[in-house]
Chains A and B, each alone.
Chain A
Amino acid sequence: MMRKKSQSLLGMAFFGPALVLLTIFLFLPMILTLVFSFTDFFALNPGLTHFVGLDNFFQIFQDEEFRRAFLNTLCFVLIIVPLQGLGSLGLALLINKVTHCKKYFKVAFFLPVVMSLAVVSTLWIQIYSPEGILNAILENFGISAQPFINSASQALPSIAVMSAWQGVGYQMIIFLGGLQGINPALYEAADMDHATPWQKFKDITLPELKPLCIFVFITITIGAFRMLVQPMVMTGGGPSHSTYTMVYDIYETGTVNWEIGLASTMAIVFAVFVMILTVIQTIATRDKEEKDVDKKTKKK
């Protein structure tokens, strides 16, 4: 009896510091975000706050800027997910096959991951500049100078290509890990049946990597939804709002304009999207983890 009581005291003593911080910086902000999303809370004049029900939710979807930010975010996702997902899978397949310089290739394609988003963005402002190195290279191939981040039609795709460049090595490493986990006996059996490389890829590699593919593609999608630093550093959301994203709108509405009510509503909409994706990811990859656990326990 005594022991049980001292255990729960000890438990709370160990868990306590984390619990206090979790309460102040996670539970409370989450609750407040939800509450504020139904109010017109303006932080510079908190006395005038009213409960407005679902008004904010209607208002943000009628707001030209938020709709633009929402569509830009979706557009960014549509460009970057195939680019980065298929790019990383392709690189992993090639590097897994290659017999020489494997280590160099891994490091080379992983290098941009090491650089922070702010650094990469600062660098690519120069790369994309009208008189920059990319236009100089294109000129050698007979392509005329492109405006890239200075034009409303090219800015978002340019940022997407840069972001895929920065992140592709990360997923490549995940896929390489997955490829090494495939049982070589499967390929040996296929060789005995004189399977072509394409058949081996289609019938062994792809099915074995399927859970990992889902995991990777959703990870990229979530990352794309959260995109903010690149336009913040490179374009300020412009030209003419063409690189304005959801998180950018939350940030400006909340911390620049102090319209916490509206910003909270946007944050809730954003969080719902990201959390749905995360839940799909968890469910879709749970089978794989269970299999991994089975393998590990069998080894023991």
Chain B
Amino acid sequence: MLTKKQKRNNWILVIVLIAASLFFLFPVLWMLANSFKQDAAITRDMNSIRAFVPPALKGNFFDNYVKILTDTSFVRYMLNTLFYAAVLIILGVIVNGLAGYALAKIKFPFRERWLMIIMLLMIVPMETIITIHFLFIAKVGLLNTVIGYVLPMIVNPFNIFLFRQVFVSLPDDVYEAAQLDHCSPIKYFFTMVLPMSKSVVATVSVFTFLNVWNDYLWPSLVFTSGDLLTAQIGLNAITSNDNTTMGQKLAVITMITIPVIIIYSLFSKQIVEGVVSTGSKEG
């Protein structure tokens, strides 16, 4: 039973935390409210509480959003990024999944040593070798191409290790039964192993998506111009254009965040599990 004093303290804590959370979120609230305003209104409201209140729902309410969607290549950049994410999820699950399965279940020479190497590779920060990646891609003439962007991002020691940890606990008798049915190992992998491990496939896919969506340095190096930009690099191109108003800038960053919020709300379980168990986001 809670005493009266404890109950009162609880409510004080709730109120303090609500106030703290509102103060904490003021940049986001300001962004949302002002993404619907014209620049004159943004400046006018700056010194009053109206800075956090969206304007009245009138005909030009979505003007900033419409302008961005129709006058810039923003939609194109968003679709590009979705496409890259889809390609990298498919290739990443296949390549890293097969490797993880080999390390978990197939007895091949130096298997333990490879596993050790994969674990050691997990501690190498990507920033160290990104210059060389850039040099490679530039030398073979793949700058500003989708292949040049995707190729270095497919293999991921962290994901190989993640797959391996899950596959190692798969039962062996299913494999033996499949062999009696003359099921080839490749077919077995795609029709049995992956479907049995939906959770890790989802985790790897979600983290690959977030990585592609949020990545900045690598796409900014590979994509020098034009139609292939990802959303984050396109954002830079749009906001550094002098014709873009402040309200439009806020509308762009709001729209870029929406897909990620959808992913987080759909897969919050996998993400929180991933965060809590590994604590590593970048991989």
Contacts and interface: CB of A to CB of B under 8 A. Distances in A.
Interface string B267-283: 00000100110011100
Interface in B100-139: 101-103, 106-109, 111, 114, 121, 123-125, 127-136
Interface residues of A, number: 85
Interface stretch (B61-69, B70-78, B200-208, B213-221): B213-221
B51 A109 contact: no
A10 B96 contact: no
Nearest to B220: A232
Main secondary structure of the interface of A (DSSP, over half): helix
Contact of B27 (A36, A100, A124, A139): A124
Contact of A26 (B99, B124, B280): B124
B68 to A, nearest CB: 13
A121 B250 CA distance: 12
A254 B132 CA distance: 8
B256 A250 contact: no
A255 B131 contact: yes
Contacts of B257: 114-116, 119
B162 interface: no
Contacts, number: 228
B114 A15 contact: yes
Given A25-B155, A116-B216, A122-B249, A18 B95 contact: yes
Looking at B31, B96, B264, the one whose CB has the most chain A CB atoms below 10 A away is B31
Interface of A: 4, 7-12, 14-15, 17-19, 21-22, 24-26, 28-30, 32-33, 36, 43, 94-95, 97-101, 104-105, 108-109, 111-112, 114-119, 122-124, 126-127, 131-133, 136-137, 139, 165, 170, 173-174, 177, 215-216, 219, 222, 226, 228-229, 232-233, 247, 250-251, 254-255, 260, 263-264, 267-268, 270-271, 274-275, 278-279, 282
Interface of B: 10, 13-14, 17-18, 21, 24-28, 30-31, 43, 46-47, 51, 94-96, 98-99, 101-103, 106-109, 111, 114, 121, 123-125, 127-136, 151-152, 154-155, 157, 160, 185, 189, 213-214, 216-217, 220-221, 232, 235-236, 239, 246, 249-250, 253, 256-257, 260-261, 264, 272, 275-276, 279-281
17 contacts: A4-B107, A8-B107, A8-B108, A25-B133, A26-B124, A33-B128, A108-B25, A116-B257, A116-B260, A170-B275, A177-B276, A216-B279, A233-B236, A251-B130, A251-B131, A260-B131, A270-B128
